[in-house]
């Protein structure tokens, strides 16, 4: 199996895990406030990677012990510049992930259905290429078509009785912008550092931010935590520890356009799992909006004619 095919399969698994996570978040919203839920899930995500890092470090130590001339491995890069790059990269990823997951959970707590939340979040697929404008890169014509289609789809999906977005939809749009920043940071940092360590650091940073906000703005109880235990475990261990780490690791071995296209399938899985597990129902108008948004998302990732 080629590395690119392996990466594609890992990203498809990631999309499936993330799609199901919308259901877990929807269920948890009935018991826990958003920052408490996100803080706990990110603590679990970070802890999930600790034994993985310890195991890999142990293997490196044993390999070094077998070779007298080998340098003893260290948990963090020895070079101060590389160490600083890893830590600052983890901090930046953690801040963007805290914003994205926070806005997402706030939107779900506001009553947005799991499938609908998945589709609005997937707008980052359109937003990512558009950010090239700020770096002097002109998007291909298909990207502009994708923006228009996505705007029409978003209108059909979200607008209720006029040109006003509902509160939960606006929060999810902010989530899409935040995840756009997260993807860009991962793209810049992920190829230059250890992906598992970067992922663990970002989870720790996100957990600290969310739990701090929860301590000042929310009132969690042990009963609520126990009620939402299964969604917390799924969102923490699978969606967080496994899903985001797979994203960072897989993106190193696949073209970013193809990677983005595969990851956007999380919205399809969100609708599927929302229907299978929650019994969510959407109107024909909303399904049309989903279909048009997905068409826009796909068009945004198609390779266009290269400029001379």
Range of the domain at 270: 3-62+79-113+172-282
Total domains present in the chain:
1
* Mean residue pLDDT across the chain: 81
Q: Do 127 and 180 contact (CB within 8 A), yes or no? A: yes
**At 138, which helix (H) or strand (E)?**
none
pTM of the model: 0.80
More confident residue, 244 or 271: 244
In a domain, 293, yes or no: no
Least confident of 116-125, 236-245, 252-261, 282-291: 252-261
Average pLDDT of 275-279? Answer: 74
User: Residue 246: is its pLDDT beyond 50?
Assistant: yes
pLDDT at 43: 95
294 is a domain residue: no
Report which of residues 250 and 207 the model is more confident about.
207
**147 located within any domain:** no
Indicate the burial class of 55 (C-beta count within 10 angstroms; 0-12, 13-18, 19 or more). exposed
Tell me if 136 is assigned to some domain.
no
Is 160 contained in some domain?
no
Identify which of 274, 263, 250 has the alpha carbon closest to the alpha carbon of residue 21: 274
CB atoms within 10 A of CB 136: 6
C-alpha 22/C-alpha 101 separation (Å) is 11
* 276-287: b (≥16 Cβ within 10 Å) or e: eeeebebeeebe
Q: Does residue 275 register a pLDDT over 50?
A: yes
Residue 73 within a domain: no
What pLDDT shows up at residue 305?
47
CA distances from 169 to 111, 121, 211, 262 (A): 9, 10, 24, 24
Question: What digits encode the pLDDT tens for the residues 73-108?
Answer: 778 888 889 999 999 999 999 999 999 988 988 888
Supply the DSSP string of 92-119, one letter for each residue.
Answer: HHHHHHHHHHHHHHHHHHTT--HHHHHH
The string of pLDDT tens digits covering residues 171-217 is 988 998 998 888 888 888 887 888 889 999 999 999 999 999 999 99
Residue 229 in domain? yes
């Amino acid at each position: 199996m080629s590395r690119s095919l392996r990466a594609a399969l890992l990203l498809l698994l990631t999309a499936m895990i993330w799609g199901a996570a919308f259901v877990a978040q929807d269920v948890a919203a009935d018991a826990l406030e958003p920052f408490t839920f996100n803080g706990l899930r990110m603590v679990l995500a970070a802890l999930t990677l600790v034994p993985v890092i310890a195991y890999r470090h142990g293997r490196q130590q044993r390999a070094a012990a077998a070779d007298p001339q080998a340098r003893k491995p260290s948990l963090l890069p020895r070079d101060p510049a590389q160490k600083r790059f890893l830590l600052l990269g983890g901090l930046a990823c953690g801040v963007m992930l805290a914003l994205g997951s926070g806005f997402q959970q706030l939107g779900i707590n506001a009553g947005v259905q799991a499938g609908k939340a998945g589709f609005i979040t997937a707008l980052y697929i359109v937003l990512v290429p558009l950010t090239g404008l700020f770096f002097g890169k002109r998007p291909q014509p298909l990207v502009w078509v994708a923006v228009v289609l996505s705007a029409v789809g978003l209108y059909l999906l979200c607008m209720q009785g006029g040109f006003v977005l509902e509160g939960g939809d606006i929060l999810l749009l902010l989530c899409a912008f935040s995840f756009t920043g997260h993807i860009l940071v991962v793209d810049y940092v992920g190829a230059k550092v250890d992906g598992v360590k970067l992922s663990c650091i970002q989870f720790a940073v996100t957990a600290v931010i969310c739990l701090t906000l929860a301590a000042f703005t929310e009132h969690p109880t042990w009963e609520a935590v126990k009620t939402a235990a299964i969604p917390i475990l799924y969102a923490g261990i699978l969606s967080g520890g496994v899903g985001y780490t797979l994203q960072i690791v897989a993106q190193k071995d696949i073209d970013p356009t193809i990677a983005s296209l595969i990851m956007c399938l999380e919205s399809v899985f969100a609708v599927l799992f929302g229907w299978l597990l929650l019994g969510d129902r959407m109107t024909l108008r909303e399904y049309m909006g989903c279909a048009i948004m997905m068409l826009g998302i796909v068009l945004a990732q198609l390779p266009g004619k290269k400029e001379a």
